[in-house]
Amino acid sequence: MRHPDMLGGRYFKGLFSVFKGACPEGWDNGRPCMNEGGALLIGLIITLTIIAIAGAAIVSITTTSTFGEIFANLHSRAYYLAESGGRYAIPMIKADPAQAEIDLNGRTFPFDNGEEFILSVDNATPGITLLESEGVSQAGDWLEVRAKVIYSIPKSFIFPYAAFSDGRLTVDNWAYIDSYDSSSGPWYSRGAIRNGHVGTNRTGPNSVWLRRYSAVYGNATVGVGGNPSGHIRVDATATLTGTRGALLTAVDMTPMAMPTGGGTPVDLILQGTDTYIFTDGSYRLNRMTILDNAVLNISGNVTLYAENSIRISNSSRIDIQAGGSLTIYAARNMVVDTSAMVNGTQNPGSLVIFGTSTFNTLTVSDYAIMHAAIYAPAATATIEDFVTFYGSIMADQVDITDNAALHYDEALGRSGGAAVGGGIIQYF
C-alpha cells in the first residue's frame, strides 16, 4: 500500500489518524495499521451517503407518481362536473331554450368544496341549442384543472297539426285524415278520434281544399286575416267534421340548417338481402338508397345528415329498435314507395325528418307505410296511392290524395312528443 505522503501528504495522515495505534509509524515503516473501528465508521458514512442519494431518487419518483395520480383524479372530477352542468341545464333548455339562455348563459355554479361548473348557452343556430359546460376542479388553487363538454340540443319540436302548409293544402279522391294517441294505444278505426286538424299560413281561395270524397276528421284553419268560409273549400262529396277558423299568429316555417359533424359523407346503398345497422351517433351521408327488401336497422339514438337524395322502395324497411330514435336532416329530396315500411312502430315520434332550405320534394306512394313526424317547410309533400301514414307533416305545400290515409298522432302535439336526436358533440 502506498504511503499517504505519496497520495497527497499530510491530509491523508490526518484522515487516518482515527486509526488506532502507531499508525503513522506503521506507514513510515511501510506497514499499514488500520483500526477496525475506524474502518467501520468510514464504511458507515459511505453507506449512509448512498442511502441518502437513493432515498432522494425514490422520493422524487414517488412524488412524480403521486402528482400524476392527483392530476388524473382532478381531471376526471372536472369532466364529471362538466357533465353535471349538462344534466342540470338540458331539461331547462328543452323546456324553453330562450329562457334558458337568459337564466344560464355565462353563469357559474359553485360548490362548498371549491369546485364549480360554468355554463354557456347559444341559440343562434336554427333548430339547435348549443350548450357548453365547463367543470373546474380545485377552482382558484394551483392544482386547478378544467374540462369542457359541448352538447347539441335540438329545440323542443311540437307538431300541433296532422298536416300544415305554408301554401295550399289539398285532400283529394277518397283520401282522409283522422287521429289517434300513440301514448294510449295504436290507431284502430277510421274517424274514431277526430283531432286530425289541418291548417295553412296561406290566405285566399282554396287555401285548404277538400275535394272528391275526401274527409278531414278535425278542424281546418287558414292564415292570419283569412276568411274561413271563403278560403276553406269543401266540395259537396267531401267531409269536414270540425270547425273552420283563421290563425291569430302565423306558424313559423323557417327551414332547418344542416348541422355540422357526422364525418365524411358516404353513400349508403342497400339492395336485396342487404342489412345494415347504425348505432348511437351522428353520420353524414351523400345519398341513401334502400331497395328490394333490404333493411336498415337503427339501434340507439341516431342522427343522419343526408346531403343528397333518399329513396326507400320495393318492400325495403327502416326498423327502429325498442328505445331507439332516428333523426334525419335532408337536403335534397325523399321518396318512399312500393310497399316500403319506414318505422313500423306505431310511434311516429321516434322518427323525425327535418328538411333544409334546399329540400324540395317528399313523396310517399304506392302502398307504403310510414310512421314519422316531418318538418320540411321548403318542400312539396305528396302522400298518395293507398299509403298509410302515421304522424304529422309540415311542408310548403301538402297534397294527400288517391285513397291515402293520414293518422295524426296527438302525442306529437305535446311537449316531448317527438324524439329528436342530439347529445354530446365534443369533449376537451
pLDDT of res. 16: 45
The alpha carbon dihedral of 385, 391, 393, 398 has a sign of positive
DSSP code string of 7-57: GTTHHHHHHGGGS-SSHHHHHHTT-----HHHHHHHHHHHHHHHHHHHHHH
CA angle 72/73/74 to nearest 5° reads 90
> How open is the CA angle 300-305-309, to the nearest 5 degrees?
120
pLDDT value of residue 426: 54
- E strand spans, 308-427: 310-313, 317-320, 325-330, 333-337, 341-342, 351-355, 361-364, 369-384, 388-401, 405-409, 423-427
Q: Which H or E run contains 176?
A: strand 176-180
Using an 8 Å Cβ cutoff, are 284 and 265 in contact?
A: yes
Question: What does the alpha-carbon distance between residue 280 and residue 298 come to, in Å, rounded to a whole number?
Answer: 8
Burial group, residue 119, by CB count within 10 angstroms (0-12, 13-18, 19+): buried
pLDDT of residue 142: 82
What pLDDT is attached to residue 8?
46
- Model pLDDT, residue 15: 46
pLDDT given at position 33: 52
Distance from C-alpha of 107 to C-alpha of 104, rounded to nearest angstrom:
6
Question: Would you state the pLDDT for residue 354?
Answer: 94
pLDDT averaged per 10 residues in sequence order, the chain, 428 residues: 46 46 50 57 71 58 58 85 91 81 94 92 82 91 88 77 98 98 94 97 98 98 96 98 95 89 95 97 96 97 96 98 93 98 92 96 98 97 98 98 97 68 53
Scored b (16 or more CB within 10 A) or e, 386-412 reads bbbbbbbbbbbbbbbbbbbbbbbbbbb
Query: How big is the chain by its Cα radius of gyration, in Å?
Result: 38
Domain residue spans of the chain: 4-34, 82-156, 163-424
